């Protein structure tokens, strides 16, 4: 097999629980080369990641169940994973994976992860809202214009400098940025590897905006 000689490619996927809703996708081959789009079906998502040849894809969805829970609809099982408990210790807001619509998102995220990993792609869980909190930049609830400006101050260009992006695309871009930082050794994982990890940024808060 010919060795891969392409530059590092990372991707962020702001996954929707249903194919009928918008899923944001961002490919990043360099800080100024963010390319974003909207996807819907599982087939579109698998094709997009495959085409990007991403070295790491971060997905905004729970990609594992808590230890002791065998099914998402098992109401007697634990509700939180170790990475979820770590988010709580950090003071980061999130929805438990067993809550209402999160169950559909979790099932879809786990299914897509299995498909992508079976094709040889590295896929991990990310959380754009948590990343934005840790960086001191606004979440999408504070307004997409504010979030887009903050991400540009972080150093993202490409589509972020060319047009107004949707909140799905901006969260995907956040994840792609974190993925790149992780491959550069500038991000960390939280959680129990035997249960499921989450990738989050590290470093000084940038304070380019207030969290929403």
DSSP line for the chain: -PPP-SPP-EEEEE--SSTTS-EEEEEESSTT-EEEEEE-SHHHHHHHHHHHT-SEEEESS--SPPTT--STT-TTS----HHHHHHHHTT-----TTSTTHHHHHHHHHHHHHHHHHTT--EEEE-HHHHHHHHT---GGG-HHHHHHHHHHHT--THHHHSPPPHHHHHHHHHHHHHHHHHTT-EEEEEETTTEEEEEE-S----SS---
Domains of the chain by residue range: 10-201
Please tell me the predicted confidence (pLDDT) of residue 5.
41
In order along its 212 residues, the chain shows pLDDT tens digits of: 344 445 889 999 999 999 999 999 999 998 789 999 999 999 999 999 999 999 999 999 999 999 988 888 877 788 899 999 999 999 999 999 988 889 999 999 999 999 999 999 999 999 999 999 999 999 999 999 999 999 999 999 999 999 999 999 999 999 999 999 999 999 999 999 999 999 999 854 443 333 33
Q: What is the pTM of this model?
A: 0.91
Fold of 10-201: Nucleotidyltransferase; domain 5 (3.30.420)
């Amino acid at each position: 097999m010919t060795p891969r000689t392409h530059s590092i490619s990372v991707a962020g996927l702001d996954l929707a629980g249903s194919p009928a809703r918008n899923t944001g996708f961002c490919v990043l081959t360099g800080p100024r080369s963010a390319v974003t789009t909207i996807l819907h079906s599982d087939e579109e998502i698998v094709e997009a990641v495959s085409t990007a040849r991403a070295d790491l894809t971060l997905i905004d969805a729970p990609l594992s169940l808590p230890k002791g829970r065998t099914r998402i609809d098992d109401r007697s099982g634990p509700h939180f994973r170790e990475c979820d408990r770590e988010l709580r210790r950090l003071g980061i807001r999130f929805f438990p994976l067993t809550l209402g619509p999160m169950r559909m998102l979790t099932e879809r995220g786990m299914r897509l992860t299995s498909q992508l990993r079976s094709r040889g792609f590295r896929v991990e869980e990310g959380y754009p809202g948590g990343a934005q909190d840790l960086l001191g930049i606004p979440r999408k609830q504070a307004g997409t214009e504010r979030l887009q400006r903050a991400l540009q101050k972080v150093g993202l260009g490409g589509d972020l400098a060319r047009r107004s992006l949707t909140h799905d695309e901006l969260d995907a871009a956040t994840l792609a940025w974190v993925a790149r930082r992780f491959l550069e050794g500038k991000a960390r994982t939280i959680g129990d590897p035997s249960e499921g990890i989450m990738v989050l940024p590290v470093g000084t808060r940038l304070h380019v905006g207030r969290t929403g």
